Structure 1
């Protein structure tokens, strides 16, 4: 469900020039993914077909204020966090 709801992935690959990261929409296809890279993006020339990559998909996230925690009113001790 996450892939369908949030198809924009950070695609990270090791190339001869070092690490390369791009935000690309990816769609599930069988056991893998399919996407499109613009010709102007050099990653299409840096990666051979079938090269291993890391695709990071993110769902919603938000800042959580220390004031949200009930213990903050009692102890005045709480730290902000990130809900991911």
Structure 2
């Protein structure tokens, strides 16, 4: 990924937090039919290694698990807050008019070699983890045990697990760092005025990177 120095994020805890906050990843592999992507929730496990590992699953009917090349590293992309930035928010516009629109965003690329897991105990443990994470905010969290055991077993037979020991992480936070302090304030104020979940999430990132 192209990352200008001003946009580079190297802090692993910051990168990990985005991956956990935005766990729906684009998993891209190279295989016999070329590039292939699946869009799946992934669980980051901080296992004591420098970058951690990712776990996920896909349908057994999805050909990606059958045809990807194990010798070629896979790429999992995690996308964080993003927003259009109008040049009208820059005070510089009134002075010189030398401004153009842009798009702010935060993104993480995780690289590693994939391993296919078909063991039912591994799959059940992975699903328990996935459900526990994403049901935690509900007043009455749903549990796998709420479904009939034979139904769950039939569903597990229809998936395969994927495990990636992360070998490299790239973080890019493009959040108006290249603008003057005055322009960054203008961006933050403009995003505040929009008052949407997306604009406020980007405003927070712009203000954090001053």
TM bucket by the smaller chain?
0.7 to 0.9
The number of residue pairs the alignment matches comes to 84
Q: Is the 8 A contact 2:31 2:69 kept in 1?
A: no
Q: Is the 8 A contact 2:32 2:69 kept in 1?
A: no
1:5 aligns with 2:21: yes
Q: 5+ residue gaps in structure 2?
A: 1-16, 106-210
Query: Runs of 4 or more off by more than 4 Å in structure 1?
Result: 48-51
Per-residue CA distance 1:28-56 (angstroms, 9 max, x = gap): 12321000101232112223678621111
Q: C-alpha separation between the residues in 2 aligned to 1:64 and 1:73? A: 16
Q: Whose helix proportion is higher, 1 or 2? A: 2
Q: 5+ residue gaps in structure 1?
A: none
1:58 aligns with 2:74: no
Deviation at 1:12, TM superposition (A): 1.0
Q: Output the aligned Cα RMSD.
A: 1.8
Give the TM-score normalised by the residue count of structure 2.
0.37
Q: Whose strand proportion is higher, 1 or 2? A: 1
Q: Which has the larger radius of gyration?
A: 2
Q: Which moved more, 1:5-14 or 1:40-49?
A: 40-49
Q: C-alpha separation between the residues in 2 aligned to 1:24 and 1:39? A: 14
Give the TM-score normalised by the residue count of structure 1.
0.86
